[in-house]
Amino acid sequence: MIWPLAAGIARLLPAEAAHRAAVLALKTGLRPLASPPALPVSILGQDFANPLGLAAGFDKDGEAMAGELAIGFGHLEVGTITPLAQPGNPRPRVFRLPASQAVINRYGFNSSGIDRVRPRIAAFRAARPAAALGINIGANKDSRDRIADYRAGAAAFAGLASWLTINISSPNTPGLRDLQEAASARAILQGVQAAIAEQGGSCPVLVKLAPDMQPAAMLATIDACMEEGCAGFVLTNSTLSRPSSLRGSALHQAGGLSGKPLAGLAAEQLALAASHLNGATCLFGVGGIASPADAYARLLLGANLLQLYTALALTGPQLPGRILEGLARMMAEDGVARPDELTGQFSDAVAALRHSEDLWHRC
């Protein structure tokens, strides 16, 4: 009862203030008690308690990691962290579109930078050595050598992260998305892999891509990344597109659109990548996941792991537990014992969602 009320009060705040309040609440232990069903997944050399994680951008500076795991998430992706601290874009820079269950943001990589964030993550890792923690790395807006920025992020975090995600798909840093072009992505991966090797360790490296890439370009980038030993892809980041169905006074704001209107696009990109890769690598399904049926459909389409952000911001901290309970019920109804048995059973995004929604109605 109290958590829907708290979420309602948070909705009265401006979006960025509500976001800060949510991070602080999780940091200070002000959160619901979650005991989600065990839905274990093993991938990337890591055991995950369940496939659902918190997407990058919610906890950019790694302030509330224990609290985020405590509300039920099986993994976290902290970041995007840039080498040097930077303030991001001027405010306001986050906008809710509640009628469309969406958010538009143009934060622009506000980050405390490696030197401030690394000790915090090192302390968390010492306390929680088995936690599934991805670290999402980016480049400074004014950097003259963006490849060097990704190398610096890898050098700083490879020894602490369960995996690193190279974010070359944020729409809010001018020119960043150009790095998704196959040759640039390859050069960044080579730099990152070299930085990890120099540390004498190993760490899986994933690449996060935009939903706005044309299919051929995305597959060319995926192939180049695979040749450089990439361990997987996070599909997808927010979109620059604006579907005609979008409603809300903020719909013309510049920035990346996330939440429900992104779901179809993100599912299509995931399905395309999964069919192309045929199980060869780890795929994170992200974008508009808000319900057990959304989560189930994304697993069917080939995701090994899932992430969400916007639905948490719009509905509150009980959401991960609810989605995981729903997933467990759907799996039982479908006669499936482990989430990885679902992975890749469908290749058509619409059919996967229809199947999942029918199944959910029977639960």
Ligand X SMILES: Cc1cc2nc3c(=O)[nH]c(=O)nc-3n(C[C@H](O)[C@H](O)[C@H](O)COP(=O)(O)O)c2cc1C
In sequence order, the 6+-apart residues with CB closer than 8 A to the CB of 311 are 101, 259, 288, 289, 290, 319
Using alpha carbons, list the distances in angstroms from residue 58 to 23, 193, 206, 240: 8, 26, 19, 19
Query: Between residues 266 and 352, which has the closer beta carbon with respect to ligand X?
Result: 266
Query: Between residues 296 and 309, which has the closer beta carbon with respect to ligand X?
Result: 309
Continuous segment of H or E residues that includes residue 216:
helix 215-227
Among 112, 143, 162, 170, the one annotated catalytic: 170
Closest CA to 140 of 187, 173, 178, 118: 173
Task: Put residue 316 in one of left, alpha, beta given phi > 0 → left and psi -120 to 50 → alpha.
Answer: left
Query: Between residues 237 and 318, which has the closer beta carbon with respect to ligand X?
Result: 237
Query: Between residues 6 and 209, which has the closer beta carbon with respect to ligand X?
Result: 209
170 catalytically annotated? yes
Distance CA 205, CA 164 (A): 5
CB of 103 to ligand X, least distance (A): 5
> Cα angle vertex 119, ends 114, 123, to 5°?
140
Query: Between residues 140 and 237, which has the closer beta carbon with respect to ligand X?
Result: 237
Cα 363 to chain centroid distance, Å, stands at 28
CB of 220 to ligand X, least distance (A): 21
CB of 114 to ligand X, least distance (A): 15
Positions in the binding site for ligand X (CB under 6 A): 55-57, 60, 79-80, 94, 103, 105, 107, 136, 167, 170, 208, 237-238, 258-259, 262, 286-289, 308-311
Closest CA to 102 of 249, 307, 306: 249
How many other CB atoms sit within 10 Å of the CB of residue 27? Answer: 16
Residue pointed to by tokens 């906890």? 59
Closest CA to 132 of 64, 54, 189: 54
CB of 287 to ligand X, least distance (A): 4
CB of 176 to ligand X, least distance (A): 10
SS3 308: strand
Query: Between residues 57 and 83, which has the closer beta carbon with respect to ligand X?
Result: 57
CB of 15 to ligand X, least distance (A): 8
In sequence order, the 6+-apart residues with CB closer than 8 A to the CB of 3 are 32, 316, 317, 318
Q: Is the distance from CB of 28 to CB of 316 less than 8 angstroms? A: no
How many other CB atoms sit within 10 Å of the CB of residue 227? Answer: 11
End-to-end CA distance of the chain: 23
| Residue sitting closest to ligand X (CB) | 57
Query: Between residues 129 and 175, which has the closer beta carbon with respect to ligand X?
Result: 175
Q: Is the distance from CB of 234 to CB of 284 less than 8 angstroms? A: yes
CB of 66 to ligand X, least distance (A): 20
Point out the residues that are catalytic: 170
